[in-house]
Amino acid sequence: MHFSSAHEASRLQLNPQGRLRHFLTTEGLSREQLTEILDTAEGFIDPVSGVIRNSPLLAGRTVMNLFFEASTRTRTTFEVAAKRLGADVLNIDISKSSTSKGETLRDMLWNLQAMTADIFVVRHGDSGAPHFIASQVTPKVAVINAGDGRHAHPTQAMLDMLTIRRHAGAFENLSVAIIGDIRHSRVARSEIHALQTLGAKEIRVIAPRTLLPRDFDNLGIKVFERMEEGLADVDVAIALRIQNERMESALLPGADEFYTLYGLTREKLKYAKPDAIVMHPGPINRGVEIESEVADGPQSVILHQVNYGIAVRMAVLSLAMQGQMDGR
């Protein structure tokens, strides 16, 4: 159940015209394709008030949220996004679904398709599960990856890209630092691929070696083990959530020690540029990854990330549905 190559992902994600038909990963997509997502999301944001505007683009369509892994924030923003586009939304309780009674995932998908589903939004603990689902659904159904294992979280990455573009400026002028548990973070992987494709000047990661993937040296980014060096003159600082539920305890001595070395505090933030923005994909562990005064401070754009998440997910849902229609 694992499709890992950029070529395979692109084959599944794009229709014959090169438009999105699924959104599974940021890897393998072009700068133009990622920019189209950002521009479409911008179109849903009122330029004066910043309010996310409604649109009837998915009127009469059915979006099914299939969350095999708990996530209140992501599921809720997908639900709000779909409803703002005029879609009917069904949240499938997987713990009570027929898969818990022995039905295969493939059979469950085919039965849901028969209920006139148009889009599946999938969150799964296994890396590659949304890719597998996209390979099994009928051509009329679009699949959106809402996070799979340690592999990818593409809509989170794109709402972060929109936040950066709106609050920090052109990517080619920016140094971006991602801090913390890189090894277990699907967000970090998706962000790195998106930042590289969008032309960021410099991408840094700051983490102890135990929290870096084994293949990280192949990604073409700068690795730092000290916050003072990694944050020096950066434009964007992104603190990641400590993935306690996925982490072998030996990799991290303790939350207090992590905070001392890698917590984003006011003192450590002074090494970044004075106008650097602070981001976090949430949920926040205050006093572990980030100091409350930083999370709530003037440089924080964390609440903007949440708001932009609705616009980005509206963009992805509408583009994937259009891509399905164009590809028929």
Q: Tell me the average pLDDT of the chain.
A: 89
The sheet carrying 236-239 orders its strands as 222-224, 202-206, 175-179, 236-239, 277-279
Calpha distance 195→174 (Å, rounded): 10
For residue 283, whether the previous peptide bond is cis, meaning omega lies within 30 degrees of 0, is: yes
In this prediction, residue 70 carries a pLDDT of: 83
Question: Which one has a higher pLDDT value, 102 or 63?
Answer: 63
In this prediction, residue 302 carries a pLDDT of: 97
Calpha distance 328→142 (Å, rounded): 12
Does the structure show a pLDDT above 90 at 110? no
Residue 155, CA distances (Å) to 36, 138, 174, 265, 284 in order: 13, 23, 21, 27, 18
The predicted-structure confidence for 68-101, as pLDDT tens digits, reads as follows 888 888 999 999 999 999 999 999 877 655 454 4
* Residue 9 pLDDT grade (very low, low, confident, very high; cuts 50, 70, 90): low
Calpha distance 44→307 (Å, rounded): 11
Question: Within the chain, what is the greatest distance between any pair of CA atoms?
Answer: 56
The predicted-structure confidence for 195-211, as pLDDT tens digits, reads as follows 999 999 999 999 988 88
* Closest-CA residue to 130 (of 98, 103, 154): 154
Q: Where are the beta strands (DSSP E) in the chain?
A: 62-67, 88-92, 119-124, 142-148, 175-179, 202-206, 222-224, 236-239, 277-279
Q: Do domains 6-152+307-326 and 154-306 have the same CATH topology?
A: yes
* Closest-CA residue to 275 (of 230, 325, 222, 233): 233
Q: Which helix (H) or strand (E) holds 325?
A: helix 302-326
Calpha distance 241→243 (Å, rounded): 6
Measure the CA angle with vertex 220, ends 216 and 221; round to 5°. Answer: 80
Architecture of the CATH domain 154-306:
3-Layer(aba) Sandwich (3.40)
In this prediction, residue 121 carries a pLDDT of: 97
Q: Which residues contact 83 (CB under 8 A, 6 or more apart)?
A: 89
Tokens for 129, please give them: 């599960």
Task: Name the burial class of residue 18, with classes exposed (0-12), middle (13-18) and buried (19+) by CB atoms within 10 angstroms of its CB.
Answer: middle
Percent of the chain with pLDDT strictly greater than 70: 89
The predicted-structure confidence for 246-297, as pLDDT tens digits, reads as follows 445 556 667 788 899 999 999 999 999 999 999 999 889 999 999 999 999 9
Q: Is 241 helix (H, G, I), strand (E, B) or coil?
A: coil
Is residue 123 within 8 Å of 77, Cβ to Cβ? no
> Domains of the chain: which residue ranges?
6-152+307-326, 154-306
For tokens 């410099």, name the residue. 202
Tally the C-alpha atoms within 13 A of residue 9's C-alpha that lie toward its C-beta.
22
For tokens 């205050």, name the residue. 286
Is residue 53 within 8 Å of 44, Cβ to Cβ? yes
In this prediction, residue 11 carries a pLDDT of: 79
Calpha distance 190→188 (Å, rounded): 6
6-152+307-326 is a CATH 3.10.450.50 domain: no
Tokens for 256, please give them: 């207090």
Calpha distance 250→183 (Å, rounded): 14
